[in-house]
Copies of this chain bind each other. A is one copy, B any other.
Amino acid sequence: MVNNQSEQLNAVFHALADPTRRAMIARLAQSPCGISELAAPFEMTLAAVSKHIKVLEGAGLVVRNIQGRNHTCQLDSLPMQGGIEWLRHYEQFWNQQLDALTAALLADDQAQAKQD
């Protein structure tokens, strides 16, 4: 597990930076499932899959429920909320960029109109 806010973001973003792990999250968003089923789509060892899941667990994105020899994984998207909120700050900035772009295009159009 992770302590402070910043390390949490480190862990979450790092976990999301790998396509295999993103695919696992996408699968788990459908429904919880076991390790083998989670591993099935990937051409890699179960050991490698196991490592990926531990990264997801470490970031708090996945919780595991052990029953006998079967481990069931379940998505917990709460930690993602931290990532979304961090990004959301800059979404506004992004919209401003869009506004500036359209404004510039508009100004161009007007300048063009004057020249014609």
Q: Which residues of A contact B (CB under 8 A)?
A: 6, 9-10, 13-14, 16-19, 22, 25, 29, 75-78, 80-81, 83-84, 86-91, 93-94, 97
Contacts and interface: CB of A to CB of B under 8 A. Distances in A.
Number of copies: 2
Given A77-B97, A78-B97, A90 B25 contact: yes
A105 to B, nearest CB: 16
B87 A84 contact: yes
A90 B22 contact: no
Contacts of A19: 6, 9-10
A66 B18 CA distance: 33
Nearest to A91: B84
Nearest to A98: B78
Contacts of A94: 77-78, 80-81
B97 A76 contact: yes
10 contacts: A9-B19, A14-B14, A22-B86, A25-B90, A75-B93, A76-B97, A77-B93, A81-B91, A84-B87, A84-B91
